[in-house]
Structure 1
């Protein structure tokens, strides 16, 4: 990879990915809400910012996301579902990546290999859900998986070597997961970044539309 666009570049995983790429002499364009005012929940912000970019990018990675928004913690059961909290989850974790994907055909090279990856989560897998709970977050991640799969089908018509995938980074020690680290083994952002980039490098066009974990193993939809 020679060029990359990292969205959510100020977060733990996004920042570590930028660092790894730049150490490999990749020219990285960083976007984030805290540093650039790039707000995935604001369609005008997404359109205006991405229209100013010319690309093409060998790698586009959407690393933005949130487990808690406006203080709303993941639901323990359906009884705790709030329409507002659910809409907030969809706006950031599903609609936002979809808005970025709507620019993918212009920002990815028409010829040659490229990767568009969106960070999803294993809890977004319907087939892997055996515990229930976390309704809004699970649903938003399941939605972004569908969005990625649909985008992959459309991209393949014009960008035959493009790879569009959802990636699960594992549980990573960031502000995102700080309150939940006791439940699962967690890794440092630097290790997560290396894992994700290793997976991205190994993907082929035959993998487009897939959902993979940090080790490159497929996750059931």
Structure 2
């Protein structure tokens, strides 16, 4: 890669997203790092950093299309895309522990944030990817999205939304193998990271297994650097190990 490459971080004001953006901005292989967020302005850790392009976006289809328009021909220079957006809890809603707690409106909200929105971003970017363009695209998935690994139950909507995301990404990987064969898709499990998303659920995390956002960002980018285009989706954890589907 050369300094003519650009990177894109979606969800750049979250804990992992901001850490990924910081590392990319410090990497001289990238001339520009586009950062998409619901926040109107970047966090102080990123503000006024050379190479930063901050793009506020609500996540609606119309706003995604508008951001795609702002990216313009730079989509054809993308070397890294990281999709960090998603939800686990909001207000009094969170992971369901039993069937009695299932709520259709909450389920729809979780699926929209964790499954549909990442695919709308991929849809917006796909047409601009060149056949020889080595673009590695990673979306934050989760080990709890693994059907084979599910022995504890619970967390219905979150588990199912991540399993759905994995299937959607694998389907897209098959298509991109024809349209943009030098690209690569990764579903990445970051482990339990010390962010607002996991904070209510950190009490039972084993010693040494609560990771800092910067550590996770470093592991994610290392996994992306090691990736090769093979026409399939890789479902990997923070240590680069494959997760069962």
| TM-score for both structures, normalised by structure 2 | 0.86
8 Å Cα contact 2:96-2:102 kept in structure 1: yes
**Higher helix fraction (1 or 2):** 1
Instruction: Provide the alpha-carbon RMSD of the alignment.
Output: 1.4
> Distance in 2 between the 1:37 and 1:3 partners?
18
What stretches of structure 1 of length at least 5 have no aligned partner? none
Q: CA deviation at 1:92?
A: 0.5
8 Å Cα contact 2:176-2:231 kept in structure 1: no
Q: Secondary structure at the match of 1:61?
A: strand
8 Å Cα contact 1:6-1:29 kept in structure 2: yes
> Distance in 1 between the 2:210 and 2:130 partners?
35
Q: After TM superposition, what 4+ stretches of structure 1 lie above 3 angstroms from structure 2? A: none
Alignment deviations for residues 63-114 of structure 1 (CA, whole Å, 9 cap, x no partner): 1111113431100111110001100001100110010111232343431321
Larger Rg: 2
What stretches of structure 2 of length at least 5 have no aligned partner? 41-54
Which among 47, 68, 79 is matched to residue 50 of structure 1? Answer: 68
Q: CA deviation at 1:207?
A: 6.9
Residue in 2 that maps onto 1:103: 124
Residue in 2 that maps onto 1:39: 58
Q: CA deviation at 1:144?
A: 0.6
Residue in 2 that maps onto 1:30: 35
> Distance in 1 between the 2:70 and 2:203 partners?
42
Alignment deviations for residues 156-195 of structure 1 (CA, whole Å, 9 cap, x no partner): 1021110012111111001111111112221100000000
| TM-score for both structures, normalised by structure 1 | 0.95
Residue in 1 that maps onto 2:16: 13
